[in-house]
Structure 1
Amino acid sequence: MANSAQGKKVLFICLGNICRSPIAEAVFNHILEEQGLAGWEVDSGAIGSWHVGRGPDRRAVSTMKKHNVHMSHKARQLKKTDFNHYDYIFGMDHENISDIKDMAPKTYTASIELFGSYDPQKELLIRDPYYDDDDAGFEKCYEQCLRCSKGFLDSLAK
């Protein structure tokens, strides 16, 4: 992998930081480890404060265990300082992107992007599985995050 893929700071954001964004964080860290990429800082956060301090949804944890992906995270809310600390802030859907931009300070250095824009299968939106009755949405989220993580890293290597 090219040097341009080394040492970035990436923050994943979803509504509550207990489903999609911690899955994205865990999957991205897993891919970094698999590809031997070091020097990255990866975290996730929430638009809202409802779940701050809580661990990920049990279905998210179960899905990550099924795929042997380590997940260790406590929910936190997006902060103003994140906009100048991170190189990339990824939202999971258009509403996340709108909320992220609304929360941004007047000037910032982070690139705010839709994580799904890196999906080679062109599924732009990572649907929120929080209200699902089963694990199927969490499995789909895992698969999308896997594709998007690889797609993003591939884009840096070009």
Structure 2
Amino acid sequence: MTISVLVVCLGNICRSPMGEAVLRNEALKRGITDIHVDSAGTAAAHLGEDPDDRTIAVCNTNKVPISHSARQVRASDFTSFDYILAADGSNLRALERQVSQSEGSKAAVKLWGSYLPDNKPIPDPYYGGQDGFTKVYEQCVKLSNAFLDEVVGKES
């Protein structure tokens, strides 16, 4: 059975495409191939754009393949994904408003940080420097592994 995961941030050019790429990469490193990962934004500001250059740079530095075109969360996402993981509380609230209007939702909508004891949101690095993107990458690696541990099982 394939697990489907949607990672969500505001504009879908920084945190969520990085999270998508990192989660897919961490799953493949564990030999998990029956996972479908995508990302989206709660806002429509960057539709069709590639990820931020700094997101791409951090992924390339860490040998994580990344290819994505920004899109907005759709009503159908709530019925086609098993998990919808929000980068922060603001995006979680936006998703919760949408899911309440979505008929037949099957998705578990959660703060991605809830898979770790500290329950930390992923800070938006957009207005900062490259260091912020590196920190988001490191957090995405930890969150990806915590998510996979809970949903698929601990690494052997």
- Residues 76-135 of structure 1: per-residue CA shift (max 9 Å, x gap): 000000001000000001101000111221441100011111235x25110000111x10
Determine helix, strand or coil for the equivalent of 1:129.
coil
State TM-score, norm by structure 2.
Answer: 0.93
Q: 2:142 aligned with 1:153, yes or no?
A: no
**Which sections of structure 2, spanning at least 5 residues, go unmatched?**
none
Alignment correspondent of 2:17: 22
Q: Secondary structure of 1:37's partner?
A: coil
Distance 2:108 2:96 in 1: 11
Structure 1 unpaired stretches of 5+: 1-5
Q: Deviations over 1:28-79 (max 9, x none)?
A: 0111110110121110001011101000000000111111100000000000
Amino acid at match of 1:112: V
Please identify runs of 4+ aligned residues in structure 1 that moved more than 4 A.
none
The reply to whether residue 128 of structure 1 matches residue 121 of structure 2 is no
Q: CA RMSD in A?
A: 1.2
Once residues 73 and 27 of structure 2 are traced to their aligned partners in structure 1, the CA distance between those partners, rounded to angstroms, is: 23
Tell me the SS of whatever aligns to 2:84: strand
Measured in 2, the distance between the counterparts of 1:83 and 1:55 equals 24
SS at 2:138 equivalent: helix
